[in-house]
Structure 1
Amino acid sequence: MKVIIVGGVAGGASCAARLRRLDEKAEIVMVERGPYVSYANCGLPYYVGDVIKTESSLLVASEAMFRNMFAIDCRTNCEAVAVDRSKKTVDLRDTKTGAVTTESYDKLVLSPGAPSFRPPLPGIDLPGIFHVRTVPDARAIREWIEKGTAFLAGMSNYTGIQMVKPKRRAVVVGGGFIGLETAENLVHAGFEVTVLQKPPHVLGPLDPEIACLLEGHLQRNGVQLVLNDGAAGFKQAANGTLEVQALSGKTFPADVVIFAIGVRPDTTLAKSAGIEVGERGGIRVDEHMRTSDPDIFAVGDAIEVKDFVTGRWSLVALAGPANRQGRIAADVIAGRDSRYRGTQGTSIIGVFGGAAAWTGVSEKTLNRLGDTDYEKVYLFPNSHAGYYPGAKPIHLKVIFRKSDGRLLGAQAIGEDGPAVDKRISALAMALQLGGTVYDLEEAELCYAPQFGSAKDPVNFAGMVAANVLRGDMPLSHWGETEGRLLLDVRDPAELVLESVPGAVNIPLPQLRSRLGELPRDREIHVICRSAQRAYYATRVLLQNGFTARTLGGGMLSRAVKAVAGAK
């Protein structure tokens, strides 16, 4: 059996290595149009910022390694330019010489990836404007930055005067993974950084009230955020620097511009071969990673995948899913019945010491789909036991089915990155296994004071959500309180800092003795800072014959929503 794999990096390279482990006799040819067959593109922003010092550290596996260790005919600088499905051949072009050869195949695997989207804006090809998608991209940015640094140093030597080093300016167009990670690294490199983001908030998979917390963290660390505004074009100033022209009419001066508005599936080869492309613009595959041609498979960023929660087609450009897809394609080619379960989109981003992470579906996606069978809870637990030094709060949002408690999604942000990672990873596994909030209640997780709490945030989330579903804590949210009586059970001193107009204040310790002050013919919505005391008060009210609901997330979620809504 002869298998040709088009594209390396995550999906293609993992497919090739797995297939060799399963079939020692197969003839495997892997071609990659770039100079590197397998590299860590997730590490590119950190190479730009000199966190990763050497380019070689980004190279996961070399052409020689695939040849010597796996006996795979690995060819770099080799581009697949045409597929003849009737003859089962692929035309391969040497990108250095232009020579074209033809190879036959029994099975073909497409892993062409998804190049950075480069819209035809005026001036987009000016010097100093870069993408961050490949190792050569990152190298070019480093060389540009080093060139500017060397120029300033040379001027100091030429004049004999120690020049005051001017602050260099960078504009990052796009507030996704690559954009924010590159922005952080440019700040560390001494740049004044502006992130220009056309959507209303950064990191599209997040809900706005969680994203705005990350935005505040970025701003506190020196990143200027410009939201609801995109790039319209670029000009070169008289002194050689760049001007970024925004859709709003504003201009932003820059010494370097990073374009990071997302990627688009590379379907050129698939379309030319008559392979089905889906409505989202990716190569359509089944659960075995087969395309519309049973002898052609596709994996990685170029394909459409089924969303694990909604069952809808989606595009998810992540290394983890690409690796698993490559492995599954190899299994199926080797005769095994492997199936891809779908993609949850589990992700994390670390910026300035903190982290934001998520898994599953967002609330805004559920609303877009018209799905109303869900509920959400907000929690603000510590990263570990509060009595142990260094505990920091985690802002956690958990979404679940009202009908059966099945976990649908979760989002978290906090200054303790590993603590955020730990909780979302646990919730991601629960979600993949079809877990419910009742399962979260019973989850047995690691505990020591420096790592967590006896009641871990994951348990806490399950307990709160289960209380809602069991009717122990009827829930309401900000925006659902019109015409209701608001009862604030915080201490009077807390109201000096923030209060809700029209709310009745009865501190929780006084509530039992002052029940006579509350009406029994009105629904009472109870408020505190984080909803914990409001829950205690709700239990008191319910067991004394009142109709009451806890306002989810308390004043903390109100403040966050106010910021998100203001944008």
Structure 2
Amino acid sequence: MSKKRILIVGGVAGGATCAARIRRLNEACEIIIFEMGSYVSFANCGLPYFIGDVIVEEDALLVATPALFENRFNIRVCTDTQVMSIDRENQRINVCDLKSGEQRNEHYDALVLSTGSQSVWPDIKGLDLPGVHVLRTIPDSRKIRAQLDNIERAVVMGAGYLGLELAENLTKRAVQVTVLQSSDQVMPSLDKEMAAYVAKHLRLHGLELKLSCQTSAITQNSDHSLQVSLSSGEQLNVDAVMISIGVKPRAELAIQAGLEVGSHGGIRVNEYLQTSDPNIWAVGDVVEVKNVITNEWQLFPLAGPANKQGRLAATDIVRKKLDTIQAVPYRGVLGTTVCGLFGLTVATTGVNEKTLKQCPGIEYEKVYLHPSNHVGYYPGAKPIHIKMLYDVRNGKILGAQALGESGVARRIDVLASFIQMGGTVFDLEEAELCYAPQFGATKDPVNLAGMIAANHLRGNHPLAKWEDLADTHTQVTDEQDDVDQMLAFIMDDPYSQAQIIDVRTVTEFAGKHIPQAINIPLDSLRDRLHELSQEREIWVVCGVGQRAYNATRILQQHGFRVRNLSGGMQTYASYEE
């Protein structure tokens, strides 16, 4: 009997992983990978760092070569070969050798589509001009590197992870960079107040950021430089333009074959990565995946999920076509990401608040905290800014965002693990994590996040929302610091009856404060309770939230209605940006 043939369209993370996993599970089948490019498996996440000379040798980007697949796994790799069409009825594909132009048909028993994604290009004139680049492949990076000596100024269109990583690495090569972003924040995966920290950090390191701006055209000047015209009328003269506004699934083959495609343009697959055709699977950037928290379809084009999908699809293929092993369903994605920019680590997991606002069936709350990465008395302590979201009905963790110079990824990894296991904020406060002075504290930032949220759910720590403060007190100015004027304003405002009490020291308060706040330092709070109204709710604020929590407990036990502005003045600063 002839061998079963497994054909895989596309390599890199999903397809290459799937091929290797099939071989480890079954020695008897024939496996062929068809890759349109010249490299079957390369580290595309490393391309910005190749531009920046952090990765010096191009060969370091090659994860695996055709020779390795042939010799180690008995897998044939056909590079520079494009799959032109799929004949589902006869279970065959038509492929074209891009070097010779010759076409042939290849039969399959199982077919895997790992065609990945392609860059989204803006609908503007001038994209075909010399000096306009996109960074997706090794040849792309090679082309950019070859021109770096002639690039003094550059525009990066797009302030997502890849765009900002590219901007950082161009800066390292002494290029003056302006980043253009159509929305009003960098890193759209973050909530706006968390992205404010990132924007501030980027500006401190020399990047020019232009937010809420649209590019209308790119033209070439007489000296061969480029002019980038913005819809505002502003014009930027640069030597290069890097397009990084996003990616979309490369799903043309699937569409041609009549496979089910979702509303986001990706191939729809079941929990075993099987498409609407029982003989075809799909993995990686080309598929739509379910979010494990919202259960909604989404695109999540990252190498980590693609790798896992490749392994699980391989297991299902072997189960259905070759053997009787047990398949494992794909859970979906949490949305865990990490990025490093000029020494700042930015990481996320789960869903952000923007997403939760679109999910009316989820009742959520959020906490902010700004602990150090390890104990303050050990040299080198650095703050970590954390936002955590959780379900108020059961305490389940829904998402988290964190940024800082040290210890960020470790905390987000812990939170991601808890979310995957259905963990709650009550589990977090009891989590037993590594402690030594140089690594953490007896109350790790993860524990603290759980404690703050758990105290809220138990009723010991009512929370006020910063956006409510911003919405309801925008009329107050620094000239209204007088207590009588402040109280008069509150009485005239039917939406907010809150008294804002700042429990920091007099010196801290004088340095910066919420304009309408009254300063009653924590250590004198018990002696000044008579100054506060029992009729109106009190919102308490301090530096990062700890003193305000202590004040909240004092005031609650003296009969006041009180809420804490989570994260203190550190969070207030991010809302001000």
TM score, norm. by length of structure 2: 0.93
CA contact (8 A) 2:497 2:537 kept: no
Aligned residue among 226, 230, 252 for 1:246: 230
Q: Give 3-state SS (helix, strand or coil) of 1:334's partner.
A: helix
- What does residue 131 of structure 1 align with? 134
Contact 1:173 1:230 in 2 (8 A): no
Partner of 2:295: 311
Q: 1:428 and 2:412 equivalent?
A: no
In 2: Cα distance, 1:86 partner to 1:264 partner: 28
Selected match of 1:370 from 360, 367, 373? 360
What runs of 5+ residues in structure 1 fail to find an aligned partner? 150-167
Q: 1-side partners of 2:33 and 2:196: how far apart? A: 43
- 1:529 is matched with 543
For residues 8 and 215 of structure 2, what CA distance do their matches in structure 1 show? 37
Residues 1:442 and 2:438 are matched in the alignment? no
1:277-292 map, 5 Å: 277-292=261-276
RMSD: 1.1
Alpha-carbon offset, residue 280 of structure 1: 1.1
Residue by residue over 1:129-160, the C-alpha shift from the partner in whole angstroms, topping out at 9 and shown as x without a partner, is 111100000000001114x28xxxxxxxxxxx
Letter in 1 for 2:558: N
Supply the AA of the counterpart residue of 2:533.
Answer: P
1:386 and 1:197 map into 2 onto residues whose CA distance is 37
* 2:208 partner amino acid: Q
Question: Matches of 1:547 and 1:235 in 2, distance apart?
Answer: 61
Q: In the alignment, residue 355 of structure 2 is paired with which amino acid?
A: T
User: What letter matches 1:532 in structure 2?
Assistant: Q
1:496 is displaced (CA, Å) by 1.2
Distance in 2, matches of 1:230 and 1:426, equals 38
* 2:32 corresponds to 1:29: yes
In structure 1, what is the equivalent of residue 322 of structure 2?
none
User: What's 1:551 paired with?
Assistant: 565
Alignment of 1:70-149 (within 5 A): 70-146=73-149, 148=150
* Aligned pairs for 1:176-215 within 5 A: 176-215=160-199
Query: TM-score normalised to the size of structure 1?
Result: 0.94
2:405 partner amino acid: E
Could you tell me which of 2, 5, 8 is aligned with 1:2?
Answer: 5
Secondary structure at 2:249 match in 1: coil
The separation in 2 between residues aligned to 1:424 and 1:501, in whole angstroms, is 34
Q: Which residue of 1 aligns with 2:328?
A: 338
Once residues 111 and 34 of structure 1 are traced to their aligned partners in structure 2, the CA distance between those partners, rounded to angstroms, is: 13
> What is the SS of the residue equivalent to 1:324?
helix
Hey, what's the Cα distance between the residues in 1 that align with 2:233 and 2:106?
A: 52
- Identity within the alignment, %: 51
Are residue 326 (structure 1) and residue 310 (structure 2) matched? yes
Q: Which residue of the other structure, out of 40, 44, 47, is the alignment partner of 1:41?
A: 44
Please, which of 522, 526, 534 is the counterpart of residue 508 of structure 1? Answer: 522
Q: Which moved more, 1:527-536 or 1:392-401?
A: 527-536
Give the residue type in structure 2 aligned to 1:275: L
Cα shift readout 1:174-229 (whole Å, capped 9, x = no counterpart): 11111100100111100110001111111111000001100110000000000011
Give the letter aligned to residue 400 of structure 2: A
Amino acid at match of 1:493: T
Larger mean Cα displacement after TM superposition, 298-307 or 115-124: 115-124
Out of 250, 255, 274, the residue aligned to residue 239 of structure 2 is: 255
Report deviation, 1:397: 0.3
User: Cα distance 1:479–1:206, how it changes in 2: closer, same or farther (>3 A)?
Assistant: closer
Instruction: State the distance in 2 between where 1:365 and 1:294 align.
Output: 33
Partner of 2:533: 519
- Residue 249 of structure 1 deviates from its aligned partner by 2.0
Cα deviation code 1:91-115 (max 9, x no counterpart): 0110111111100001000000001
CA distance in 1, matches of 2:502, 2:126: 56
Letter of the 1:91 counterpart: N
Match of 2:247, SS state, is coil
SS at match of 1:348: strand
Equivalent residues, number: 542
* 1:69 counterpart = 2:68: no
Q: How does 1:477-496 map to 2 (within 5 A)?
A: 477-481=465-469, 482-496=496-510
Q: How far apart are the structure 1 equivalents of 2:271 and 2:233? A: 47
Instruction: Give ranges in structure 2 of 5+ residues lacking alignment.
Output: 320-325, 470-495
Alpha-carbon distance in structure 1 between the residues aligned to 2:265 and 2:183: 20
Structure 2 counterpart of 1:413, from 403, 414, 436: 403
Q: 2:502·2:509 contact (CA, 8 Å) conserved in 1?
A: no
Q: Tell whether the 8 Å contact from 1:171 to 1:256 is kept in structure 2 after alignment.
A: yes
Question: What is the rounded CA distance, in whole Å, between the counterparts of 2:467 and 2:21 in structure 1?
Answer: 52
Alpha-carbon separation, structure 2, partners of 1:132 and 1:528: 45
Of the three residues 272, 282, 292, the one matched with 1:298 is 282
Aligned to 1:169: 153
What is the DSSP-based 3-state SS (H/G/I as helix, E as strand, rest coil) of the residue aligned with 1:479? helix
> Contact (CA 8 Å) 2:367, 2:388: kept in 1 or not?
yes
1:271 aligns with 2:255: yes
